[in-house]
Amino acid sequence: MTAENPTGPLGGHLDDDDYPAYTMGRAAEMLGTTPGFLRAIGEARLITPLRSEGGHRRYSRYQLRIAARARELVDQGTPVEAACRIVILEDQLEEAQRINAEYRRAAAEQAENGSD
């Protein structure tokens, strides 16, 4: 097995943050929470786990990071629905800031190339 041609049950997914590798039980264990918490944040539409062929929920590392942030807020006393909304807004803000930075870089490059 080589890095260029991975084999095995996960194929080339070991570095894929979006690959749904974790069962609900394992995800809950990793987060130190319950499957009920994962169901609750799913119902609040914070994360949408993929389903296995048998219908079981599967979570990615990216989804687990989002769930961990929601759990932090809930542990601080924030209701689950509010925690999910906060995490969604934080994620939207981060994305908007990333896009804004890209636009600024592009504008700076354009101004620099235009002044030659």
**53-96 pLDDT, tens digit each:** 899 999 999 999 999 999 999 999 999 999 999 999 999 999 99
pLDDT exceeds cutoff 90 at 116: no
In angstroms, the CA 35 to CA 28 distance is 6
Q: Is the pLDDT of residue 19 over 80?
A: yes
pLDDT value for 71? 97
Sign of CA dihedral 17, 18, 21, 22: positive
* Structure confidence at residue 3 as a pLDDT band (50, 70, 90): very low
The Cα–Cα gap between 113 and 106 comes to 10
On the 0-12 / 13-18 / 19+ scale of CB atoms within 10 A, 30 is middle
Pick the range with the lowest mean pLDDT from 6-10, 66-70, 111-115.
6-10
Specify the pTM. 0.75
β-partners of residue 22 are: 59
pLDDT at 1: 39
Q: What is the pLDDT of residue 17?
A: 85
